[in-house]
């Protein structure tokens, strides 16, 4: 199989930008080649151009989704950026006496660790049968399938508080040693769905808290503004919006004000 050319890489850049709004820099050329080479071998294709032709032949095909899955980066772990979960706990406590459900959305949930971290906090603060909801979404069908299983390497669980790990997780034994499984009752409280943030969003009841973390770094300025506007349209007035510590909403959206590093509140 031939190595990827600059022209082929340019076409993959346009493909993933059109599909997901992601801007691949030239530094990602080796990553694209590495992730797609195995797929080319599986399909017995001898060049990246042949694979591009396959994708162009039917943009609604399952192969298009497969390519999107391979080219989107999904790196996460439980209780990443703890200050956000401390905020979530305080907001959950404040919501305990109200009638409406307390709703949170992980808008780029990847393999689900973020959603289950949210669910552990809400189950602890509000109770397992209480009026709260966690929604997770991602553009990748592959990672959402893994998220629904709730089965992870223990290396991803280093930051789970010990009491939560004991209460909400099952430690793998035998063939599953070195892994954990999120408790079934907690898994049932989290709803996962495939959502492309770079397109019109599905109709959803507005949320009290939205996490959109470590995603905007893959968007250019215009795409970032469009995505943030869409997501914030589903945040209640007075609701909280959490982004990654390496990200900023400076000159992106005026409907929220910063209240702490990487934490914003809708006016």
Task: State yes or no: is 90 an active-site residue.
Answer: no
Task: State yes or no: is 35 an active-site residue.
Answer: yes
Separation between Cα atoms, residue 168 and residue 160, nearest integer Å: 10
> Choosing from 35, 148, 156, 167, which is the catalytic residue?
35
Q: Is 256 exposed, middle or buried (0-12, 13-18, 19+ CB in 10 A)?
A: buried
Per-residue burial over 65-76, b if 16 or more Cβ lie within 10 Å, else e, is: bbbbbbbbebeb
Among 15, 10, 140, 154, smallest CA distance to 66 is for 140
Phi and psi angles of residue 224, each rounded to the nearest 5 degrees, phi first: -60, -45
Q: In sequence order, which residues have a C-beta less than 8 Å from that of residue 32 and are 6 or more positions away?
A: 4, 9, 12, 24, 71
> Choosing from 69, 103, 125, 138, which is the catalytic residue?
138
Residues labelled as active-site residues: 35, 138
């Amino acid at each position: 199989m031939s190595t990827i050319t600059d022209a082929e890489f340019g076409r993959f850049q346009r493909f993933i930008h059109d599909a997901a709004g992601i801007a691949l820099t030239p530094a990602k050329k080796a990553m694209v080649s590495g992730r797609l080479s195995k797929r080319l071998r599986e399909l017995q294709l001898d060049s990246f151009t042949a694979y591009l032709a396959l994708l162009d032949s039917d943009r609604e095909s399952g192969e298009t989704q497969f390519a999107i899955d391979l080219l989107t980066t999904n790196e996460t772990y439980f209780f990443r950026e703890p200050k956000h979960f401390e905020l979530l706990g305080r907001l959950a406590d404040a919501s305990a006496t109200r009638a409406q459900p307390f709703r949170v959305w992980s808008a780029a949930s990847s393999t689900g660790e973020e959603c289950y971290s949210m669910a552990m906090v809400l189950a602890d603060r509000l109770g397992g049968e209480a009026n709260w909801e966690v929604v997770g979404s991602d553009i990748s069908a592959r990672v959402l399938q893994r998220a629904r299983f709730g089965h992870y390497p223990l290396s991803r669980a280093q930051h789970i508080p010990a009491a939560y790990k004991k209460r909400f997780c099952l430690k793998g034994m035998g063939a599953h040693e070195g892994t954990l499984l999120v408790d079934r009752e907690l898994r049932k409280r989290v709803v996962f769905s495939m959502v492309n943030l770079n397109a019109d969003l599905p109709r959803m009841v507005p949320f009290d808290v939205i996490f959109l973390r470590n995603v905007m770094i893959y968007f250019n300025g215009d795409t970032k503004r469009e995505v943030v506007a869409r997501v914030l349209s589903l945040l209640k007035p007075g609701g909280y919006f959490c982004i990654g510590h390496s990200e900023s909403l400076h000159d992106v959206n005026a409907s929220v004000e910063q209240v702490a590093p990487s934490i914003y509140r809708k006016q």
